[in-house]
Amino acid sequence: MKKCLIAPSILSADCARLGEDISKALDAGGDLVHFDVMDNHYVPNLTMGPMVVKALRNYGITAPIDVHLMVEPVDHIIPYFAEAGANYITFHPEASKHIDRTLQLIKTSGCYSGLALNPATPLNILDYVMHKLDIIVVMSVNPGFSSQLFIPNALHKIHQVRQLINQSGYDICLAVDGGITINNFSEIAAAGTDMFVVGSAIFNQIDYKKAIDGMRYIISNSIPESYCKNHTLIISS
């Protein structure tokens, strides 16, 4: 079994001791840091900016940082996150007037590029940009807040995106973000997920390692080996 990725989502971490809490989750077996950026415009919430990414790097976080931009417009802020230390940058197609151009801007900035698909975002948005994608994030909640319940119809969408990736022949990582718990982890894994963005199911637990080890056990018993790949985009800072 090749390794799938668990990305602790710091939206659920202790903001008063963010560096310490993230280090604890990574030491417990997390693979990369998922960093949610909200602007109180595209989504009804306000979170963190590039300075926090830079602060985490200065603190000593060397794991890859996956920046999920829930902002509109999106292009202006991309270079700032790249300069601050992001490795992946994903955005929502609804937040860009020219999706292809935004993806190219991410790559030009030195990061891996991705799209985050809301529950109601149609998959034909991918038709002409698959060759520029390193990651596709299927949102299994509506973006904006942590600790939401998983939307069951997202499972069908995960299966569909898995099939599109396999048919494309490109090395694209399939991530799922939102409402992932130990109770639904198995079916999300079996749908063909490569990366699991997990917030409260890690940070709300007393023992982070026990939580992540439990997820790894489920992965090992749920995912066909062909689904779980060591993607070339996984790098360190």
Does the annotation flag 30 for ligand binding?
no
**What number is the average pLDDT over the span 198-206?**
94
Percentage, residues of the chain above pLDDT 90: 84
Q: What is the pLDDT of residue 234?
A: 52
DSSP 174: E
The whole-number pLDDT of residue 237 equals 38
H or E element that contains 70:
strand 65-70
Q: What is the pLDDT of residue 203?
A: 95
pLDDT over 60 (residue 198) = yes
Answer yes or no: is pLDDT of 201 > 90. yes
Grade residue 229 by pLDDT with cuts at 50, 70 and 90: low
131 alpha carbon, distance to own chain's centre: 19
Per-residue pLDDT tens digits for 109-154: 999 999 999 999 999 999 999 999 999 999 999 987 776 789 999 9
Least confident of 37-41, 56-60, 97-101, 219-223: 219-223
Place of tokens 């996984």: 234
Closest Cα partner for 69 from 108, 99, 29, 26?
99
What average pLDDT is seen over the chain?
Answer: 91
Q: Is 36 annotated as a binding residue?
A: yes
HSE-CB for 172 with a 13 A CA cutoff: 27
Active site residues: 36, 177
CB 233 within 8 A of CB 135: yes
**pLDDT of 6-20, one tens digit each?**
999 999 999 999 999
Q: How confident is residue 27, by pLDDT bands cut at 50, 70 and 90?
A: very high
- Quick one: pLDDT at residue 19? 96
* Residue 12 assigned as binding residue: no
Residue 232 has pLDDT above 80, yes or no: no
pLDDT higher than threshold 50 for residue 226: no
Question: Looking at the predicted structure, is the pLDDT value of residue 200 above 50?
Answer: yes
On whether 19 is known to bind a ligand per the annotation, the reply is no
At residue 74, φ and ψ (nearest 5 deg) are -110, -30
**Domains in the chain and their CATH numbers?**
5-222 (3.20.20.70)
For the stretch 149-196, pLDDT in tens is 899 999 999 999 999 999 999 999 999 999 999 899 999 999 999 999
User: Which range scores top for mean pLDDT: 83-87, 197-201, 222-226?
Assistant: 83-87
pLDDT for residue 143: 83
CA–CA dist 224, 226 (Å, integer): 5
Q: Binning pLDDT at 50, 70 and 90, where does residue 236 land?
A: very low
